[in-house]
Amino acid sequence: MSEAVKNRFDFVLLFDVKDGNPNGDPDAGNLPRVDAESGHGLVTDVCLKRKVRNYVLFKEGDQSPYRIFIKEKGILNQAIQQAYDRLGINLDEPPRDAKDGTKRNKKGQGQGSEIDRARTFLCENYYDIRAFGAVLSTGANAGQVRGPVQLTFARSIDPVVAIEHTITRMAVTTEDEALEQGGDNRTMGRKSTIPYGLYRAFGFVSAPLAQQTGFNEDDLEVFWESLVNMFEHDRSAARGLMGTRKLIIFRHDSHLGNAPVQQLFETVMIKRKDDAKPARDFSDYEVTIAKDRMPEGVTLIERL
């Protein structure tokens, strides 16, 4: 394993979607998420992290040290319990170390240094815990982890228009439905898309927190690779053409950083080439970086 990340990183992620729904809202009939006041499209940070997790699963096959803690159909308390089992800690017996107490305060739960050991074990074996952190205080209890990698909501550069489409399935679910339709056997439904949207998300990598979780240089490279490729294995009829367009990374020479993040993000400018017509492709935008305004001690890295 490589050393834990020692430098602060900030980044800008640009991705787009055409004739698709990048992140439906289940509380609104799965309509694309939109800022009600401005009309700009939104994609949650949770959605983006899910795609990173899925890519790491595909790439590494859920093997240590790249296992994924929060995954489809996962049972989190079982994973926490397995950490204690692997460490040989019986949570039904008094702690082995007297410093952790002479009796088990709550049967089935870790305490004292046992929690620290279980948390370290989970960080070492689960990529998403090392990267994003996790609440591990349920079940057997392994405390909490604050992750060094954080993402904001993604917001579209321009307002988007959500369009609802009526669709037809030439089949029904039950025989009763077929009888009601006299053999016509059709099911009507709806799906929602936006014609086009270019989205921008911001992200941050904290070196001090990376030291705490063990998030290392190899992990960081996997993360950059995931951001570039995460949409390539996330295709569906609902999401249309969706892909990463640019990943702009700011590497600080120090672990605490050499410039305020707002100063760095303001160097990335995105402008529509023709305001007279709606954008329908990435080529309708011009992305520029004011490299002459790059602060001392910050290195610009472009992926894509």
Residue by residue, pLDDT tens for the chain (304 residues) are 689 999 999 999 999 999 999 999 999 989 999 999 999 999 999 999 999 999 999 999 999 999 999 999 999 999 999 999 999 999 999 999 888 888 999 989 999 999 999 999 999 999 999 999 999 999 999 999 999 999 999 999 999 999 988 888 888 888 888 788 877 777 778 889 999 999 999 999 999 999 999 999 999 999 999 999 999 999 888 887 999 999 999 999 999 999 999 999 999 999 999 999 999 999 999 999 999 999 999 999 999 8
* Amino acid occupying residue 161: V
What b/e readout covers 250-266, taking b as 16+ CB neighbours within 10 angstroms? bbbeeeebbbeeeebee
Q: Where are the domains of the chain?
A: 9-303
As a whole number of angstroms, the distance between CA 265 and CA 51 comes to 23
- Triad 105, 106, 109: Cα angle to 5°: 110
What is the reported pTM? 0.93
Please give the helix or strand (H or E) that residue 79 lies within, else none: helix 76-87
As a whole number of angstroms, the distance between CA 225 and CA 168 comes to 38
From the number of C-beta atoms within 10 Å of its C-beta (0-12, 13-18, 19+), residue 293 rates as exposed
Bridge partners for 12 per DSSP: 202, 248
Instruction: Specify whether the CB–CB gap between 142 and 110 falls below 8 A.
Output: yes
Give the chain's length: 304
As a whole number of angstroms, the distance between CA 268 and CA 5 comes to 25
Q: Is the peptide bond preceding residue 32 cis, with omega within 30 degrees of 0?
A: no
Find the radius of gyration of the CA atoms of the chain: 24
Instruction: Specify whether the CB–CB gap between 283 and 207 falls below 8 A.
Output: no
pLDDT at 80: 97
